[in-house]
Amino acid sequence: MAGHFESDEPGRWVTHDKPKDECGVFGIYGRGLDVARLTYYGLYALQHRGQESAGIAVADGDSVFLQKGMGLVPEVFNGENLDKFKGHIAIGHVRYSTTGSSLPINAQPLVFRYAGGMMGLAHNGNLTNVSELCQQLFSNGAVFQSTTDSEVIVNMIARNYQNSMEEAVMKCMIDLKGAYSLVIITENKLMAVRDPFAIRPLCIGRLGDAWVVTSESCALATIGAELVRDMEPGEIIIIDDNGLNSLQMMRPRRKAHCIFEYIYVARPDSTMDGYNINTVRRAMGRQLAREYRVDADFVIPVPDSGTAAARGYAEESGIPFEEGLMKNRYIGRTFIQPNQSMRDLAVRLKLNPIRDILAGKRVVMVDDSLVRGTTSTKLVAMLRNCGVEEVHLCLSSPPIIRSCYYGIDTSNESELIAARKQVSDIKNIIKADGLHYLSLEGLLDIFGDNRCNFCTACFSGEYPVEIPKKAGKYELES
């Protein structure tokens, strides 16, 4: 499933040349339930969306309690600290940093006191006008504890508060630009907010009489809840003892769901805005096979995110599917200094070819995407070293030529190999016998009449929300 790619920052995770994940959010309102533990299990299911830090906030009607820290969900929480949480409302967050450094102060949820009481917020996405908003708040005397755009949202909600939290959130949304899926907790209610383009996912579920909101439906299934629906673009939901109430704050001009959720980020067992992720990835593989036919002995995936597309390619082409690369599923976090020999070791730690199966064969290797090309180059070399005669690399996404400003860390454009090189040049660089990217048309055809409901900016450069002239992960730290 989703991994992290080579980093130039010492001590950062080093496993895979992929766009980095984003964040996952979870919220539950359920009297009589152990909402802290249910949130813990929900975050466990969302761990693939962020592994840097985790946090849970619980409300009991009078106050909001918080526990958060650096690391994976089971590293931050244990039976003892979960037992201390008493309440009937909870929100949780797993973080991969896309704005602000990976530091304890930037872990979420963020919990603050404001004029109306206590509030906690967890955020998935990136604001595109955070610098302007931050300057406005600074000029009015605001102070910040963290360097995340999420605290800017908290500050704006607090400053817009006059009569109710609902009104404050609605006023805040007028000024926010970019991607934001939010869960908000107060002493006595749970709220969820999805931006007007619905860029990042957010869905609603039911667990008996309890309500649940989360980034992906896999978290609902994990705690035994049922998916009710996805939140609409610009929708606010409020859950309290009166049940669930929906407000449609903004009518979008169009939906712009992140297409990369379907290619790489989301878990295959999740259903997102009407589409099961595994089914979509399999269809991508079938479309790949229709676009690029080649004589080969096996189709092999780059596990795990390339597996569904590889199966689809095998189904359509009639070429046998084989697990030619073995993934070390226990590698976890590997802190490796960023020199070349250690990077080579990192790839071998994660993936290893099965020589007895592959020697003397021609293979179609299916992966989901290519960012810098470093890992693919090493994988092709590894296959050749174990005797593979031909390696054709098929990618279930179009070439990534633009950076994402909405919450996925796709690297600077200068680091994107497809932004600088032609396909034929890339094929020569990675030393493959063939290289084929899924066409954008072929990708969108999978979604039929809904083909216009996606953000494809990383492939096309057509951004649905205006992007900042100058942006970066550390723009609030300069």
Rounded to the nearest 5 degrees, what angle is found at the Cα of 284, between the Cα atoms of 279 and 286?
95
Following CA atoms 406, 411, 413, 414 in sequence, which dihedral angle do they give, to the nearest 10 degrees? 160
Measure the CA–CA gap between 4 and 401, rounded to whole angstroms.
Answer: 19
CA angle 300, 303, 307 (to 5 degrees): 60
Residue with tokens 């984003």: 22
Q: What is the rounded distance in angstroms from the CA atom of residue 51 to the CA atom of residue 3?
A: 10
CA–CA distance, 369 with 263 (Å, rounded to integer): 8
How does DSSP classify residue 70? E
Q: Name the catalytic one among 23, 172, 218, 394.
A: 23
Those residues whose C-beta lies under 8 Å from the C-beta of residue 238, and which sit 6 or more positions away, are 166, 189, 190, 191, 244, 245, 246, 247
Q: Considering Cα of 181, then 306, then 330, then 268, what sign does the dihedral take? A: positive
C-alpha span between 206 and 273 (Å, rounded): 17
Distance CA 40, CA 159 (A): 31
Does 23 participate in catalysis according to the annotation? yes
Nearest to 298 by CA among 279, 311, 281: 311
CA 173, CA 256: separation in Å to the nearest integer?
A: 17
Partners of 271 in the β-ladder: 276
C-alpha–C-alpha distance, residues 344 and 288, integer Å:
29
The closest alpha carbon to 302, from 293, 286, 313, belongs to 313
CA torsion, points 346, 351, 354, 359, in degrees to nearest 10? Answer: -70
Which one, of 61, 119, 66, 116, lies nearest residue 93 by Cα?
66
Separation between Cα atoms, residue 174 and residue 359, nearest integer Å: 60
Long-range contacts of 162-169 (CB under 8 A, 24+ apart): 164/116, 165/116, 165/119, 165/189, 165/191, 166/191, 166/236, 166/238, 166/247, 168/116, 169/193, 169/236, 169/249
> Is 397 annotated as ligand-binding?
no
367 has binding-site annotation = yes
Q: State phi, psi for 253 to the nearest 5 degrees.
A: -75, -30
Residue 258 annotated as binding site: yes
Instruction: State how far the Cα of 255 lies from the Cα of 464, in Å rounded to an integer.
Output: 9
| Measured CA distances, 225 to 162, 189, 204, 404 (Å) | 35, 20, 10, 32
Q: Active-site positions?
A: 23
Annotated binding site for [4Fe-4S] cluster: 258, 404, 455, 458
Annotated binding site: 258, 305, 367-368, 404, 455, 458
Annotated binding site for Mg(2+): 305, 367-368
